[in-house]
Structure 1
Amino acid sequence: MMACPAILTGDRFLLRVIEHIDCQAQFLGSYGYQALSQPGSLASNIMTGLLTLFVALFALRLLFGPTPGARDVIYDLLKVGIVLTLAFSWPAFRTVVHDVVVDGPAEVVTAVVSPSLNQENGRLAVRLQQADAAIVQLTEMGTGRNTGAALEGSTTGASFAGTSLQDDTAFGYGRMFYLSGIMGSLVIIRIIAALLLALAPLAAGMLLFEATRGLFAGWIKGLTLSMLGSIAISVVLLIELSILEPWLADATRVRELGYAIPSAPIELFAISAAFAVAQLAMIWLLAKVAFARGWISLPARPRGWQTNPFDSYRMPSPNVDVQIRPSRAQLIADNVETIMRREEYRDASRTSIRSITGDGPNRQDSAKPAAQNAAEQQAPRLGSSFRRTVKRNRFDIMRKDRPS
């Protein structure tokens, strides 16, 4: 158990706050991981259950399901190895993940920034504390609006005011934005990284199953955000120091010479407020980058299409078989159209059959002359000339069969 430095007011306030935040983040990231990964802990039992379930499902797949290919088997073995390394091996996890997330951003910043930003000796936290001490000293000295001499012929007086903020108010807000921007951004980035590192034993188990693989991807993206955020915040603070340090040195020197600096409060307020907003905006922008789903991809064109960008109508080549899968709405519309055509064809066939069997002779009779129709009605029908009109009985049959 390490003892983090206590926060005291005074000259080393900002430095103690930064060291305390780093100490708490290191304690949460390292000791939290070791507490969750030790045998018998809740996370260890959960990981054991997840591994057992994964092996059981793989065995059932071998027995009853489709036989997995060699690629699937190798992929599953790699997943088990990665999970065991991340969840239960602290030396490997510290080398591969922990040190990269915690110490990697500082090395990257040292390599990419301009040498002029690191020209002074000392750590970044020490330089931030020195700038804060200079701001406090300048606030105590004041602007010299009423008591100081004019600089370069400028006039000072009680009636002069560049903005609605008074000198003491502007100095106070300037230092507040300076401290709040630094501490707020460091708390967000460092605590997020420490919490994700501590939850690594639980996050590693999410890689085993398809349904929970998105949680593991989110864990990786969170670590990526913390790394990118640390780099961005360090760069922004170095640029802010490159502006504040010479400005504070010049303002302090002018006041020590007895001259007035009436514009210094608003300048300090503008610098500190702008960089505080820039730090938060940088974290938001990097979060959008880290949690992006992927690069925008355009649909692939089939081979044989014309490549002229100025031709609005492009036809596929006749040698290329372009298969277009219709949508569900198009399939439903085609089915309805087929049914309607079938019904229309059925109605048309019924009408034609009816006209042939019943309606045709009537039309022909109506077209003939009236005398010819009457003669045909009086003539007997074919086969009815000698047809019996009275029903025969058995007595007639017996009389016919008796000999004469």
Structure 2
Amino acid sequence: MSTACAAMIDDGVIRGVLATVECQTRVYAEGGYTALTTGSSVFQGAVTAILTIYVALIGYRMLFAQGSARLSDAPGIALKVGLILALVTSWSTFQSLVFDLADRAPTEIAAIVSAPFTEGGASLASRPVDGLQAAYDEFSETGAAYGQLAGPNAKGYSSPQAAAAETTAAASGVLFLASAGVISAATLAIGVLTAIGPLFIVLALIPATRGLFVGWVRALAAAALTPLVAWLLIVLMLSVIEPWIVTLAEQRMAQRLNAQTAMSAAALVFVFAAGQAALVVGACVMAFAFRLPSPRVDRGRAGAVTAAAASGPASAPLPSRAERLALDLQRDQAQAAARSRVAAVAAATHPTSSRQVSVTLDDTRRLGDAYRRNSFTARRAGVAR
């Protein structure tokens, strides 16, 4: 444990846990990233090999016109490679674009959204961490007071005091898990995912492994959205239970404990804990909606498909140049075969005119061959342009 993080010990359960986890996570993420990117020759060799394979595949597709790769895509490809290299070689860049975005941005957004509830300086919601610590301490002390009032032999719900003691003690534990527990778990997940982030960022280059990168982004987004929704609900919870906390403190100090008040306050904590669980599930669902954009389709085929969709469901997309050329050749062959059959039938029916039909057929074939040559030459010229 670092010296700065060790200084946060004995600062209260909730306050100490949140501060220590935050400090240690940042130290661990930076150390893991540095060890992976600069201290591992295996990772550096893997990055070089993946970049070489990626550039070779792009060059092959552009050279042989495979897929939808075009020369106009070169600036975008260079930008993507440069961004990946910047993220896997510089901690300052990675920290600003990845770690701070996932760790600090949700807390700042939650502070902005909950500003109307935190304007009053004397309320628990004005300083959520201190407010959580005060609520946790009050439930713990109230539970101990009810336990002393119920006596050492009280078990379960044998008396209202015993029931209030167990309920408030459970409420303190649930309050810790629904606040500091959820936020600390999400912060730890962000630290671990950040430390191994360069591995998945490099895998985003290869289409076969791009799904692993998408999964990493979804997990990181879920871990980042969890503190956002958690802090928002915590501020709302502190605003709601503050009058109950004040009443419990007054009753405890005046030695006039009311079991109904304690159990009602504990029930509010249980309700907000259930809401916290639902929000965590919702954050995961929102994160899993992340998708990478689909590969760009050829402009000509995309235009043909769009025109076909606009004209109606019964129309088919327009064929490409190669398909049109094949259709033209098949049509010419069919016409030549039909003319041959007509000439054969005419020769069999009128032997005297067979020679004239043969001459006419030869002239037609020569004209068809000239037409095909001219058409093919024109198509080649259009393709070259």
Aligned equivalent of 1:216:
213
Counterpart in the other structure of 2:373 = none
The residue number in structure 1 matching 2:179 is 182
From the superposition, tell whether residues 271 and 41 of structure 1 become closer, same or farther in structure 2 (CA, over 3 Å): farther
In the aligned structure 2, how far is the partner of 1:41 from the partner of 1:229? 35
- 2 CA distance for matches of 1:278 and 1:95? 32
Give the TM-score taking structure 2 as reference length: 0.66
Alignment of 1:46 onto 2:46: yes
Which residue of structure 2 aligns with residue 136 of structure 1?
140
Unaligned runs of 5+ in 1: 148-157, 295-299, 305-319, 326-404
Helix, strand or coil: the match of 2:118?
helix
Does residue 1:57 correspond to 2:57, yes or no?
yes
- The structure that is helix-richer by fraction is 2
SS of aligned partner of 1:212: helix
Distance 1:224 1:321 in 2: 39
User: 2:110 aligned with 1:95, yes or no?
Assistant: no
Q: Larger C-alpha radius of gyration, 1 or 2? A: 1
Separation in 2, partners of 1:144, 1:200: 52
Alignment correspondent of 2:18: 18
Q: What whole-Å deviation, never above 9, does each CA across 1:344-403 have from its counterpart, x for those lacking one? A: xxxxxxxxxxxxxxxxxxxxxxxxxxxxxxxxxxxxxxxxxxxxxxxxxxxxxxxxxxxx
Aligned to 1:249: 246
Between the aligned partners of 1:99 and 1:123, the Cα distance in structure 2 is 22
- Asked if the contact 2:144–2:165 (Cα under 8 Å) also holds between the matched residues in 1, the reply is no
> What is the distance in 1 between the residues matched to 2:280 and 2:108?
19
Q: Map residues 62-211 of structure 1 onto 2, 5 A cutoff.
A: 66=66, 68-120=69-121, 123-142=127-146, 161=160, 166-211=163-208
2:315 paired residue number: 323
Q: Distance between the aligned counterparts of 2:71 and 2:276, measured in 1?
A: 49
Match of 1:259, SS state, is coil
Q: Distance in 1 between the 2:180 and 2:160 partners?
A: 31
In structure 2, C-alpha distance between the alignment counterparts of 1:195 and 1:253, rounded to whole Å: 44
Identity of aligned residues (%): 25
Task: Write the distance in 2 (CA, Å) between the matches of 1:87 and 1:263.
Answer: 58
Q: TM-score, normalised by structure 1?
A: 0.63
Greater Cα offset, 87-96 or 111-120: 111-120
Residue 143 of structure 1: how far off its partner (Å):
8.7
Quick one: structure 1 residues 265 and 55, their matched pair in 2 at CA, closer, same or farther if it must change by over 3 Å?
same
What does the per-residue CA deviation read over 1:234-255, in whole Å, with 9 as the maximum and x for residues that have no partner? 1111112112332111222134
Distance 1:140 1:48 in 2: 62
Distance change >3 Å, CA 90–CA 160, structure 1 → 2: closer
Q: 2 CA distance for matches of 1:13 and 1:170?
A: 19
Does the 8 Å CA contact 1:79/1:207 hold for their aligned counterparts? no
Task: Give the root-mean-square deviation of aligned CA atoms.
Answer: 3.4
CA–CA separation in structure 1 for the residues paired with 2:148 and 2:57 = 79
**What whole-Å deviation, never above 9, does each CA across 1:255-296 have from its counterpart, x for those lacking one?**
4334331213322331222222222221111111110266xx
Q: 1:112 to 1:138 in 2, by over 3 A?
A: same
Separation of aligned partners in 1, 2:265 and 2:247: 13
Other-structure match for 2:380: none
The C-alpha deviation readout for 1:80-103, integer Å capped at 9, x for no partner, is: 112101111222222222222221
Q: Give the number of the structure with larger relative contact order, counting CA–CA contacts within 8 Å between residues 6 or more apart.
A: 1
Q: Deviations over 1:137-180 (max 9, x none)?
A: 32333399889xxxxxxxxxx99749xx7222112111111112
Contact 2:200 2:213 in 1 (8 A): yes
Structure 2 runs not aligned, ≥5 long: 152-156, 292-305, 318-385
